[in-house]
């Protein structure tokens, strides 16, 4: 029989996006259907990164994994995890407050690796046949670096200057493609256009197509564990086309000039290449590829010229503006298998009933003094004084 139901986690002001160092506050409510015994009822905030990919198949398949944790905090509402505690029937609502680490990476989701943060309700029941009750809600963490105000990220304009000479496959002789372009800046934010100045020369005897392609390159790191393995760190690269821009066709022997040309529009959900700088298992970079595509097979089909690195940041951190990872962060209720949680060091008596602490007008709370900014208000039971 279900003993606890209607579990709901609500964040203060319905906040969805947090920055490193922010307080994550809110309430958890739940309905105890009938008086029951528990080992512990707790609220947990957990942040971690996991990577996983396979190489080969069948008997030759090799699995590489990586995992690191950024935060694991728990607020115990009832019990100590070791002794049984009685919980009366009723509807309960409890506040919680956690603090994110100041140097945690941004949220990120992909097929081979994720950086996730959740706040989870957890209830441990006694008995061999009893199953624990868990329900969590995911939060999104975003790096607050603003490239428009950070001097070390401002490198000025970037230049793409390259030349490629190829044998003309139809008319004979040699053809030359020349690119001499300057980007308006080196750091961008989602929603920005990449503006370009300069010129492109098509030395082919037929028309060609010129395009710019923004590439996202993700590198995952992990180890293969086993008795007969070295355990050395391996990496896996994945390239994704974020966006592209195609110029009008270049006629034979045409030199096209570009003046403050708005080319690639960076999508609003593009993850920051700066946001994962504190993650050791996932590396995220962006490059701008210059491509010239030959027409009808008269020239080389695709010429990839100079690759130019660019930086993308999510800008200032705001409470509810949605910027997701490459596949999107789902801000929904999720079931997650948490690692074994540490037990409290001392046992504590069960708190008063719901009617006594919530309905009574004599209910008062006192909290420990906050010594400095690195500490925060402890909303756990042992921080309260009931009268």
Distance from the first to the final alpha carbon of the chain: 35
Query: pTM for this structure?
Result: 0.73
Q: Which pLDDT band holds residue 184 (cuts at 50, 70, 90)?
A: confident
Helix H or strand E encompassing 84: none
Helix H or strand E encompassing 354: helix 354-354
At residue 134, what are phi and psi to the nearest 5 degrees? -140, 140
Q: What is the mean pLDDT of the chain?
A: 75
Model confidence at 354: pLDDT above 60 = no
Looking at the DSSP assignment, which residues form a beta bridge with residue 290?
A: 212
- For residue 201, what pLDDT is reported? 85
CA pair distance 246, 77, nearest whole angstrom:
58
CA pair distance 284, 311, nearest whole angstrom:
10
Looking at the DSSP assignment, which residues form a beta bridge with residue 140?
A: 17
Q: Which pLDDT band holds residue 24 (cuts at 50, 70, 90)?
A: very high
- What is the residue extent of each domain of the chain? 4-142+320-383, 151-312
- For residue 358, what pLDDT is reported? 42
Model confidence at 107: pLDDT above 90 = yes
Q: Which CATH architecture has domain 151-312?
A: Sandwich (2.60)
Helix H or strand E encompassing 49: strand 40-55
Answer whether CATH 2.60.40.640 is correct for domain 4-142+320-383. Answer: yes
Gyration radius of the chain over CA positions = 28
- For residue 45, what pLDDT is reported? 95
Written as one string, the DSSP assignment of 182-193 is: EES-SEE-TT-E
Which segment of 18-32, 233-247, 296-310 scores lowest on mean pLDDT? 296-310
- For residue 82, what pLDDT is reported? 80
Q: For the segment 228-264, what is each residue's pLDDT rounded down to a tens digit? A: 666 788 999 999 999 999 888 888 888 888 899 899 9
């Amino acid at each position: 029989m279900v003993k606890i139901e209607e579990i709901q986690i609500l964040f203060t002001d319905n906040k969805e996006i947090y920055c490193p160092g922010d307080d994550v506050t809110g309430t958890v409510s739940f309905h105890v259907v009938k008086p029951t015994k528990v080992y512990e009822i707790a609220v947990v905030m957990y942040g971690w990164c996991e990577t996983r990919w396979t190489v080969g198949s069948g008997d030759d398949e090799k699995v590489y994994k990586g995992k690191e944790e950024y935060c694991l905090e728990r607020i115990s509402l009832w019990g100590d995890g070791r002794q049984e505690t009685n919980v009366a029937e009723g509807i309960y609502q409890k506040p919680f407050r956690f603090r994110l680490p100041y140097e945690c990476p941004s949220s990120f989701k992909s097929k081979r690796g994720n950086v996730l943060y959740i706040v989870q309700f957890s209830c441990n029941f006694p008995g061999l046949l009893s199953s624990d009750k868990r329900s969590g809600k995911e939060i999104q963490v975003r790096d607050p670096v603003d490239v428009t105000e950070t001097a070390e990220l401002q490198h000025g304009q970037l230049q793409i200057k390259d030349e490629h000479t190829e044998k003309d496959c139809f008319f004979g002789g040699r053809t030359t493609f020349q690119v001499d372009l300057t980007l308006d800046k080196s750091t961008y934010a989602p929603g920005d256009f990449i503006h370009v100045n300069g010129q492109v020369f098509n030395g082919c005897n037929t028309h060609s197509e010129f395009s710019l392609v923004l590439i996202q390159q993700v590198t995952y790191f992990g180890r293969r564990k086993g008795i007969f393995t070295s355990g050395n760190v391996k990496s896996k690269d994945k390239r994704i086309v974020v966006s592209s821009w195609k110029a009008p066709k270049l006629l034979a022997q045409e030199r096209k000039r570009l003046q403050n040309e708005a080319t690639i529009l960076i999508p609003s959900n593009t993850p920051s290449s700066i946001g994962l700088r504190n993650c050791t298992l996932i590396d995220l970079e962006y490059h701008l590829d210059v491509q010239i595509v030959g027409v009808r097979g008269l020239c080389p089909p695709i010429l990839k010229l100079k690759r130019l690195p660019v930086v993308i940041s999510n800008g200032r951190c705001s409470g509810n503006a949605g910027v997701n990872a490459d596949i999107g962060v789902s801000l929904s209720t999720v079931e997650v298998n948490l690692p074994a949680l540490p037990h409290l060091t001392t046992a504590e008596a069960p708190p008063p009933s719901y009617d006594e602490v919530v309905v009574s007008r004599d209910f008062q709370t006192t909290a420990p003094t906050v010594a400095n900014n690195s500490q925060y208000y402890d909303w756990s039971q042992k921080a309260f004084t009931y009268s």
